[in-house]
């Protein structure tokens, strides 16, 4: 009672007037605000003031047996360790009309943070307006108001897979007439979940006792000790939570709370609870990210009371935060890898360009073009390589064309055809090359399939696909076994195959397999399975070690994979 006495002012007008003042105004206000929960004792402010009501209609409908469950933003009050179990940010607003213009409201908020735990905020307010005030002579002097606030900052973290810990820092502010008091305190909460269907919770409210300085005295809130248990029974679309709490205020008699909740299809919830002889009921509905919860209870002093809570959850879950972070890291790695690979590609291109320059000076134009092709595969924008390729191509085309004309004039039609084919492979529309090729095909006097096989074989031979050339020439030879031109080319192709040329020549089947492995690897890489992509590309590289696009892909994937693993991104 000392708080109220200090709020009256300096009164020394006699026992009768004091008792009359108390009877008319102060005692009814105490019943309204404290609901019978304050214990009159010298130097004791009660059992957490009016804020022992808590927060959240869901918890209140379950009799306040929420210490082990604590899986919404009202965990800020009941057990801060529970904040770690909340998937997304949530904001809840409670409205609780008490009696004759007295209101109890609260707002709670939580936010799960990746690799940091979870934080929460709580704001509680009790307000009564229109309180008549009197002077020392019992004359009315007007009206006043009573208001009390509590603010909470919470933090929760996982100490291990099954054990969670949380704490609150609380600020209290109370004002009545000419009295103002501020206090600071703290709460501690823990949750242990040995198995998925069973959970235990514990909370100590006011483990740091708030102390209020009021003129000549100090008031202190006592500690409240609570332990609780939760049994979860979850089916496909129906969930059951059964809870029980036991609590004691500074070693006083132990009291019990119990609650029950069923959730149907994540849309409708029904609840009931028991709190030290009082029975509560409630229900909740959920649509999208919005929930509305209602609690109804019979108070020993105030009768039937209704409580309303509106909640909204939003933002990314921890899993989504993890995915978002990994995606952002992947983008950073992608940019880093792109710069690194560009330097490597330019270095490889320059190496091939230098080899091409040496070959060009030696008049080895075909070999030089091969080196330039590899240089441009590594770096397609390499201007020096493009310019040298144009220069060599012009010289080589002229060289082949002149040789073809000379062979044709000397009636060496086999050599002429080969040189014209070389010209066509570099620049198909060069002068009258195609006219000569058509004329030579007629001179060889090949008919039907033999002519088609032979022409294709020469094309393969010119492009150094000697295995495929042998196949085509062999088919043509079976049709026209006496054709000396076919036999000549067949022998030349066999010689290239058996003699070797220093590089791998692929058959059509091998080329198709390499192509398939390459594009299968591209799909795996795009889907994020870089290990599988590397496996496929390395298999393709065994068939064709000279395939630069595969070498580039392997280099990119391996560098990216190493960088991601270094940063802990899966």
83-107 pLDDT, tens digit per residue, is 999 989 999 999 998 877 789 999 9
Could you write out the three-class secondary structure of 52-71?
HHCCCHHHHHCCCCCCCCCC
Do the domain assignments include residue 491? no
Do the domain assignments include residue 391? no
What does the alpha-carbon distance between residue 346 and residue 381 come to, in Å, rounded to a whole number?
10
Helix ranges (DSSP H) in 62-200: 75-78
Do the domain assignments include residue 121? yes
Do the domain assignments include residue 404? no
Do the domain assignments include residue 180? yes
Domain end marker among 253, 286, 321: 321
Which domain does 221 fall in, by range? 2-38+56-321
pLDDT for res 104? 92
Cα→Cα distances 487→76, 369, 463, 505, Å: 92, 30, 19, 21
Per-residue pLDDT band for 340 (boundaries 50, 70, 90) equals confident
Average pLDDT over residues 534-561: 87
pLDDT for res 570? 62
Average pLDDT over residues 365-393: 88
pLDDT in tens, 28-78: 443 333 333 333 333 334 444 678 888 999 999 999 999 999 999 999 999
The secondary element (H helix, E strand) that includes residue 90 is strand 89-99
CB 347 within 8 A of CB 382: no
Per-residue pLDDT band for 191 (boundaries 50, 70, 90) equals very high
CB 285 within 8 A of CB 264: no
Q: CB-based contacts of 335: which residues, under 8 Å, 6+ apart?
A: none
pLDDT surpasses 90 at 464: no
Bridge partners of 275, per DSSP, are: 257, 278
Do the domain assignments include residue 45? no
pLDDT for res 163? 96
Q: What is the mean pLDDT of the chain?
A: 83
Domain end marker among 321, 348, 380: 321
Residue 83's CATH number: 2.40.160.60
Do the domain assignments include residue 356? no
What pTM was estimated for this model as a whole? 0.62
What does the alpha-carbon distance between residue 98 and residue 36 come to, in Å, rounded to a whole number?
13
pLDDT surpasses 70 at 25: no
Please report, rounded to a whole number, the percentage of residues in the chain having pLDDT higher than 90: 36
Bridge partners of 273, per DSSP, are: 259, 280
Give residue 469's Cα distance to chain centre.
Answer: 55
pLDDT for res 276? 83
CB count, 10 Å around CB of 247? 22
What does the alpha-carbon distance between residue 159 and residue 431 come to, in Å, rounded to a whole number?
81
CB 245 within 8 A of CB 214: no
CB count, 10 Å around CB of 57? 29
Q: CB-based contacts of 10: which residues, under 8 Å, 6+ apart?
A: none
pLDDT surpasses 50 at 270: yes
Q: Rounded to the nearest 5°, which phi and psi values hold at 367?
A: -65, -35
pLDDT surpasses 60 at 3: no
Reduced to 3 states (helix: H, G, I; strand: E, B; else coil), residue 318 is helix
pLDDT in tens, 212-260: 766 666 778 889 999 999 999 998 889 999 999 999 998 788 999 999 9
pLDDT for res 337? 81
Q: Rounded to the nearest 5°, which phi and psi values hold at 53?
A: -55, -35
Smallest Cα–Cα separation from 431: which of 391, 400, 386?
400
What does the alpha-carbon distance between residue 296 and residue 310 come to, in Å, rounded to a whole number?
15
Radius of gyration of the chain (CA): 44
What does the alpha-carbon distance between residue 457 and residue 333 come to, in Å, rounded to a whole number?
47
What does the alpha-carbon distance between residue 299 and residue 204 come to, in Å, rounded to a whole number?
25
What does the alpha-carbon distance between residue 570 and residue 559 come to, in Å, rounded to a whole number?
14
Instruction: Indicate the number of domains in the chain.
Output: 2
Better-scored residue on pLDDT, 278 or 152: 152
Q: CB-based contacts of 377: which residues, under 8 Å, 6+ apart?
A: 548, 549, 552
Residue 525's CATH number: 1.25.40
Bridge partners of 269, per DSSP, are: 263, 284
What is the CA angle 84-86-87, rounded to 5? Answer: 120
DSSP state of 49: G
Average pLDDT over residues 344-365: 90
Bridge partners of 226, per DSSP, are: 203, 247
Q: 140-158 and 163-176: which strand pairing? A: antiparallel
Domain end marker among 321, 353, 368: 321
pLDDT surpasses 50 at 183: yes
Helix ranges (DSSP H) in 286-412: 318-361, 365-378, 383-409
Q: CB-based contacts of 444: which residues, under 8 Å, 6+ apart?
A: 413, 417, 451, 454, 483, 485
Average pLDDT over residues 312-337: 85
Do the domain assignments include residue 473? no
């Amino acid at each position: 009672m000392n708080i109220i006495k200090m709020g009256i002012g300096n009164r020394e007008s006699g026992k009768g007037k004091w008792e009359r003042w108390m009877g008319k105004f102060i005692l009814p206000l105490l019943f309204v605000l404290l609901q019978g929960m304050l214990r009159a004792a010298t130097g004791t402010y009660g059992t957490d003031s009016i804020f022992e009501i808590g927060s959240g209609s869901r918890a209140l409908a379950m009799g306040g047996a929420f210490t082990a469950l604590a899986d919404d933003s009202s965990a800020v009050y009941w057990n801060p360790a529970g904040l770690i179990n909340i998937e997304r940010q949530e904001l809840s607003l409670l409205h609780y009309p008490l009696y004759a213009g007295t209101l109890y409201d609260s707002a709670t908020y939580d936010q799960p943070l990746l690799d940091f735990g979870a934080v929460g905020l709580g704001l509680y307010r009790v307000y009564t307006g229109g309180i008549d005030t009197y002077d020392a002579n019992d004359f009315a002097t007007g009206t006043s108001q009573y208001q009390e606030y509590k603010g909470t900052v919470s933090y929760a973290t996982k100490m291990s897979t099954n054990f969670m810990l949380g704490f609150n820092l609380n600020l209290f502010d109370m004002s009545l007439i000419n009295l103002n008091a501020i206090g600071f305190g703290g709460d501690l909460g823990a949750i242990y979940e040995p198995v998925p269907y069973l959970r235990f919770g514990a909370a100590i409210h006011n483990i740091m006792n708030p102390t209020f300085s009021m003129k000549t005295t100090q008031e202190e809130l006592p500690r409240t000790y609570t332990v609780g248990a939760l049994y979860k029974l979850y089916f496909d679309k129906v969930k059951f939570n059964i809870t029980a709490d036991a609590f004691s205020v500074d070693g006083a008699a132990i009291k019990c709370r119990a609650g029950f909740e069923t959730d149907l299809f994540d849309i409708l919830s029904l609840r009931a609870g028991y709190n030290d002889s009082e029975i509560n009921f409630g229900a909740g509905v959920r649509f999208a990210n919005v929930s509305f919860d209602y609690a109804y209870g019979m108070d020993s002093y105030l009768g039937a009371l209704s409580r309303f809570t509106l909640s909204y959850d939003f933002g990314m879950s921890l899993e989504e935060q993890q995915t978002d972070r990994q995606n952002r890291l992947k983008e950073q790695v992608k940019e880093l890898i792109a710069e690194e690979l560009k330097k490597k590609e330019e270095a490889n291109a320059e190496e091939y360009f230098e080899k091409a320059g040496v070959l060009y000076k030696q008049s080895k134009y075909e070999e030089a073009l091969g080196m330039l092709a590899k240089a441009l595969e590594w770096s397609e924008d390499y201007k020096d390589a493009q310019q040298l390729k144009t220069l060599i191509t012009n010289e080589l085309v002229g060289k082949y064309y002149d040789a073809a004309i000379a062979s044709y004039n000397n009636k060496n039609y086999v050599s002429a055809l080969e040189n014209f084919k070389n010209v066509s492979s570099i620049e198909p529309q060069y002068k009258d090359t195609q006219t000569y090729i058509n004329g030579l095909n007629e001179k060889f006097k090949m008919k039907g399939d033999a002519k088609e096989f032979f022409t294709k074989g020469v094309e393969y031979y010119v492009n150094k696909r000697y295995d495929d050339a042998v196949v085509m020439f062999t088919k043509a030879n079976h049709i026209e076994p006496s054709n000396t031109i076919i036999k000549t080319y067949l022998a030349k192709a066999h010689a290239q195959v058996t003699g070797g040329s220093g590089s791998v020549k692929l058959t059509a089947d091998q080329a198709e397999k390499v192509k398939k492995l390459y594009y299968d690897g591209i799909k795996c890489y795009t889907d994020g399975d870089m290990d599988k992509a590397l496996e496929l590309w390395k298999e393709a590289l065994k068939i064709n070690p000279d395939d630069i696009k595969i070498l580039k892909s392997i280099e990119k994937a391996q560098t990216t994979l190493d960088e991601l693993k270094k940063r802990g991104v899966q």
